[in-house]
Amino acid sequence: MIRADLQEKIDKSVKSLKLAAEMSKEFYKAPLVIAYSGGKDSDVLLNLAESCLTPDEFEVQHSLTTVDAPPTIKHIKKQFKRLEEKGIEASIDYHEYEDENGVKRRHTMWRLIEQKGIAPTRIARYCCQVLKESSTPNRIAVLGVRGGESAKRAGRDIFGVRGGSYRKATFFSLDHTEEVFEESKSRDPVWDCKLIEIMRKKGDTVVSPIYEWSDEDIWNYIHEMGIETNPLYQMGFKRVGCVGCPMASYKGKMMEFELFPTYKQAYIHAFDRMLKTLRERQKKDGKRREIEWKNGQEVFDWWIGKDKLQCKGQMTLEDFDDTDTT
């Protein structure tokens, strides 16, 4: 039995999705893009979209990070097959980059670590920026982001305009978005709100329909609607994300690497290549400070055991190149 307070949130989520679909059609001449991770929030979001939108009003996309757990990939493929049978477009985004020879290659976590010259951490989460957030340019992306997930996500709202970082993003309430969209149909663009202005330019915008939902709301909805979820939850996982995500707890990381040891070895090999790249850069730049890590295993031992970015010896972020943060 769905509680009355949750039903209110469901109604608001549905209203947000319908409004976003209308705005996408008006300003982008394209369907909404639902970002699907294979986690419980994504499954709830997908169920809501299927309940209130037609197949031509949205499409579903998974951003391949190359470090999703095998059960997650299996769950995504199963869901995408189901969607395709219903006539809903579902695709996997393979990120590409140009190497030093101008040849396009697929981006991977392992290549990124080598390129950046630093392990992904809570401070330097370049992996999210490259492998996830760049997947839906010039579209309205529907995200399963919720305010209660972290302090960083609190204080936002349902609609938003992306910036170069989370701090530069701007957010708008459902009521405000409804009002300015209605006004945009008759008023001169010179009076546009920032959200409408960006949409007219087909800029990167987002909508988070389940932003106000709690964990309890999510699981209540899943159970009431009979939604099939990622097998990782039945294996004891509280969250579903990249194997080795810097936002996960030490205990969570250790459990992941015990279950999926090939990922551990892949990280160690990537850290070996990272150190080689770092030493080559320092030699080229004339830096004399010694890198105390001898190999990828030592980097891994530091990386898995520390929550704060506290580099071995006296090294700091300034000693590394190109540390994009989000």
pTM (two decimals): 0.85
Q: What is the end-to-end Cα distance of the chain in Å, rounded?
A: 39
User: 48 with 158, same domain?
Assistant: yes
Cα distance between residue 146 and residue 196, in whole Å? 23
Contact 129, 324 (CB under 8 A): yes
Residue 324 within a domain: no
Answer yes or no: is 215 within a domain: yes
* Residue 19 phi, psi dihedral angles, 5° rounding: -65, -45
pLDDT of residue 77: 96
Examine residue 199 and state whether it is found in any structural domain, yes or no: yes
What is the band of 100 on the pLDDT scale with cuts at 50, 70, 90?
low
| Selection from 123, 65, 71 nearest residue 303 by Cα | 123
- Asked if 20 and 211 count as a contact pair (C-beta separation under 8 A), the reply is no
The residue among 187, 203, 234 that closes a domain is: 234
Residue-number span of the structural domain to which 15 is assigned: 4-234
Same domain, 152 and 82: yes
Q: Is the same domain home to 308 and 211?
A: no
Tell which of 201, 234, 267 closes a domain: 234
Question: How do residues 239-268 score in pLDDT, each as one tens digit?
Answer: 888 999 988 888 888 899 999 999 999 999
Shared domain check, 288 and 186: no
In one letter, which amino acid is 2?
Answer: I
Residue 308 pLDDT more than 60? no
Where does the pLDDT of residue 326 fall: very low under 50, low under 70, confident under 90, or very high at 90 and above?
A: very low
Does pLDDT of 312 surpass 50? no
On whether both 227 and 302 belong to a single domain, the answer is no
**What is the model's pLDDT at position 306?**
52
Residues linked to residue 105 through DSSP beta bridges, in sequence order: 97
On whether residue 276 sits in a domain, the answer given is yes
- Whether 268 and 296 share a structural domain: yes
For residue 48 the two structure tokens come to: 């809501």
Number of H helices, E strands in the chain: 12, 9
Q: Let me know whether 44 and 137 are in one domain.
A: yes
Return the percentage of the chain with pLDDT > 70, whole number. 87
Name the domain boundary from 191, 209, 234: 234
Q: How many domains does the chain have?
A: 2
When pLDDT is averaged across residues 163-179 and rounded to a whole number, the result is 84
Please determine, for residue 324, whether its predicted confidence score (pLDDT) is greater than 70: no
- CATH number at 108 reads 3.40.50.620
What is the layout of strands, in order, in the sheet containing 90-93? 90-93, 58-63, 32-35, 140-142, 205-207, 159-161, 170-172
pLDDT, mean of residues 285-302: 84
Q: Mind listing the pLDDT tens digit for each residue in 108-166?
A: 899 889 888 888 888 877 887 777 766 667 899 999 999 977 656 677 899 999 876 55
pLDDT at 103: 74
Check whether residue 280 and residue 202 sit in a common domain: no
Predicted local distance difference test score (pLDDT) of residue 135: 65
272-289: pLDDT as tens digits? 999 998 888 888 877 666
Q: Is 89 helix (H, G, I), strand (E, B) or coil?
A: coil
**Structural domain includes residue 325:** no
